[in-house]
Amino acid sequence: MNQEHGSIPGDPAQFRTTCWSEILVAAESQMPGSAEALSTLCRDYWYPLYAFARRRGYPSHDAQDLTQGFFLSILKRHALKQADPARGKFRSFLLGSFQNFLADESDRARALKRGGDREFLFLDAEENESRYELEQTDQLTAEKIFDARWAMALLTRAAKRLQEEYAIAGETTRFEILRSFVGVELGRSPPTYEEVARMLGLSAGAAKTTIHRFRKQYAALLRQEVLRTVSDPTDIDEEIRALCEALVVAEGRL
- Please give the residue ranges that form the binding site for other proteins (CB under 8 A): 1-2, 4-5, 7, 14, 16-19, 22, 151-152, 154-155, 162, 165-166, 168-169, 171, 174-175, 180-184, 186-190, 192, 209, 213, 215-224, 226-228, 231-233, 237, 240-241, 243-244, 247-248, 250-254
Q: What phi, psi does 133 have (nearest 5°)?
A: -60, -40
Residues belonging to the chain: 254
Nearer to other proteins, 86 or 140 (CB): 86
8 Å CB contact between 249 and 215? no
CA 21 to chain centre: 14
**Shortest Å, Cβ 125 to other proteins:** 38
Nearer to other proteins, 18 or 128 (CB): 18
8 Å CB contact between 109 and 101? no
- Alpha-carbon dihedral angle through residues 103, 106, 112, 117, given to the nearest 10 degrees: -100
**Shortest Å, Cβ 159 to other proteins:** 10
**Shortest Å, Cβ 27 to other proteins:** 14
Nearer to other proteins, 49 or 152 (CB): 152
Nearer to other proteins, 24 or 66 (CB): 24
Q: What phi, psi does 89 have (nearest 5°)?
A: -105, 150
**Shortest Å, Cβ 217 to other proteins:** 4
CA distances, 245 to each of 28, 144, 150, 240 (Å): 34, 9, 12, 9
**Shortest Å, Cβ 22 to other proteins:** 6
Q: Which of 66, 68, 96, 64 is nearest to 80 (CA)?
A: 96
Distance CA(64)–CA(66), nearest Å, equals: 5
**Shortest Å, Cβ 79 to other proteins:** 22
Nearer to other proteins, 121 or 227 (CB): 227
| Contacts by residues 220-224 (CB-CB < 8 Å, ≥ 24 positions apart) | 221/158, 221/161, 221/162, 221/165, 222/154, 222/155, 222/158, 224/17, 224/158, 224/161
Nearer to other proteins, 140 or 186 (CB): 186
